[in-house]
């Protein structure tokens, strides 16, 4: 999966989820997806050499992914413990991207619900 396909798939998955909004609140080059006002996906579109997505993760899961897949790094732009950035490469599949976007959506949504309680 190349970077363009990775980003397109992440956007498609995010758009299919309930209660999602998106826009470009930080810069025109970052496509930001939110659930209940909380960011769960950032798609970087200004650099063809950095075609990545950034998602929220449970820290131990993020550590394992970074260890096992070379093109998964600490999150750009956000907290390095709770976010990872994913670029195209070996081991990055549509299923992995779908799972990461769904998990990030769930984590961000859970956090928003906890803050409302």
Least-confidence region, from 8-17, 80-89, 95-104, 108-117: 108-117
pLDDT at residue 117, as a whole number: 43
Instruction: In whole angstroms, give the CA distance from residue 28 to residue 94.
Output: 26
44 φψ region: left (φ > 0), alpha (ψ -120 to 50), beta (else)? beta
Indicate the helix (H) or strand (E) that contains 43.
strand 38-44
| Backbone torsions φ then ψ of 42, nearest 5 degrees | -125, 130
pLDDT at residue 17, as a whole number: 96
pLDDT at 115 > cutoff 90: no
Q: Which residues contact 33 (CB under 8 A, 6 or more apart)?
A: 11, 14, 20, 21, 22, 39, 40, 41, 42, 43
The stretch 28-50 carries a mean pLDDT of: 89
Per DSSP, the residues of 49-71 read T---EEEE--HHHHHHHHHH-TT
**How far is residue 17 from each of residues 13, 29, 81, 86, 105, measured CA to CA in Å?**
7, 22, 25, 20, 8
The stretch 23-42 carries a mean pLDDT of: 93
| Residue 30 bridge partners (DSSP) | 44
Going by the DSSP 8-state scheme, the letter that residue 108 receives in this structure is: H
């Amino acid at each position: 999966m190349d970077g363009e396909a990775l980003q397109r798939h992440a956007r498609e998955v995010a758009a299919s989820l309930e209660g999602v909004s998106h826009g470009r609140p930080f810069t025109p080059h970052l496509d930001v997806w939110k659930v209940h006002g909380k960011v769960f996906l950032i798609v970087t579109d200004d650099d063809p050499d950095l075609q990545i997505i950034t998602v929220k993760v449970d820290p131990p899961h993020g550590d394992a992914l970074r260890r096992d897949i070379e093109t998964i790094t600490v999150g750009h732009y956000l907290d390095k413990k709770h976010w990872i950035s994913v670029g195209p490469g070996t081991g990055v599949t549509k299923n992995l991207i779908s799972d990461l976007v769904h998990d990030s959506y769930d984590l961000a949504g859970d956090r928003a619900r906890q803050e409302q309680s």
